Amino acid sequence: MACALTVAPEAAALGVGITEDDPKSNPEFFYSQLVELGATRNVVRITWDAAAPAALPDEAAQLDRLVASAERHDIEVVFAVYVRRAGASPTTRIRAAQLATWAAAVARRWPEVRTWIGPNEPNQPRFWRPQFSKACVNVSGAAYAAALGAMYDALKTVDADIQVLGSLSPRGKDLCRAASNVSTSPVRFLAALGKAYRRGQARGGCTPLMDGLSFHPYPPRNQDSPAKGYIWPKV
């Protein structure tokens, strides 16, 4: 089966904002400061818990105030999804379906939020496990494709205009038996994800997995200049 190539619409003007959870506590003050700085976007964390897969985020009342305040200040709120325990990542069909159902419920609670970032940095064991099989084959790429695809479908069912983004760390060891940080480089993670998508492991058919990618361009060390890059296959 062949999938048609679609051309993305013309890119919108550059938007500048912050990734910060402090507005949950005092959104009016925080967003007034953002407006003064000329920023227009705030990415905030929401957490899915496999132990209570249908529960709304703990800070639901805070999010109510935050979203209302953002509307008044013309700030775009973006939800970034985190998994509470990496060892309970949505790596099975049941958990992926539970994540998707939860995302749809959250989207209906806060319809003003039109951009979602899928589970955070799935190429890092701090946020997603396992990364590799016992045979040292990457498994996080295929599992993430299935989970993100399920979340994509659920959110688009709520509102077809919601934008769904994937998420990646710029780093990864690609060593399944490393003493620590058993992670996957972004290039090889995307290769595994793409392979799973082409083989139909995600959902089958030609339905996209995401509308864009949220890539975190951290420097190799915090004190490094932007000119200092990584060694391939880090990015």
Q: Does residue 203 register a pLDDT over 80?
A: no
Predicted pLDDT of residue 15: 82
Split at pLDDT 50, 70, 90, the class of 206 is: confident
Predicted pLDDT of residue 227: 87
Q: Does residue 153 register a pLDDT over 60?
A: yes
Predicted pLDDT of residue 201: 57
Predicted pLDDT of residue 22: 95
H/E stretch holding 81 = strand 76-83
What pLDDT digit, counting tens, does each position of 51-61 carry?
Answer: 999 999 999 99
Q: What is the mean pLDDT of residues 153-180?
A: 97
Q: What is the mean pLDDT of residues 140-162?
A: 97
Split at pLDDT 50, 70, 90, the class of 3 is: low
Q: Does residue 5 register a pLDDT over 50?
A: no
Q: Exposed/middle/buried for 63, CB within 10 Å: 0-12, 13-18, 19+? A: buried
What pLDDT digit, counting tens, does each position of 101-136 carry?
Answer: 999 999 999 999 999 999 999 999 999 999 999 999
Question: Angle at the Cα of 154 (from 193 to 54), degrees rounded to 5?
Answer: 105
C-alpha to C-alpha distances, 30 to 21, 83, 228, nearest whole angstrom: 10, 26, 32
Cis upstream peptide for 53 (omega within 30°)? no
What pLDDT digit, counting tens, does each position of 15-53 carry?
Answer: 889 999 999 999 999 999 999 999 999 999 999 999 999
Cβ neighbour number for residue 174 with a 10 Å cutoff = 19
Predicted pLDDT of residue 73: 97
Predicted pLDDT of residue 13: 73
189-219 as b/e, with b when 16 or more CB fall inside 10 Å? bbebbeebbeeebbbeeeebbbeeebeeeee
Q: What is the mean pLDDT of residues 86-94?
A: 97
What pLDDT digit, counting tens, does each position of 217-226 carry?
Answer: 899 888 998 8
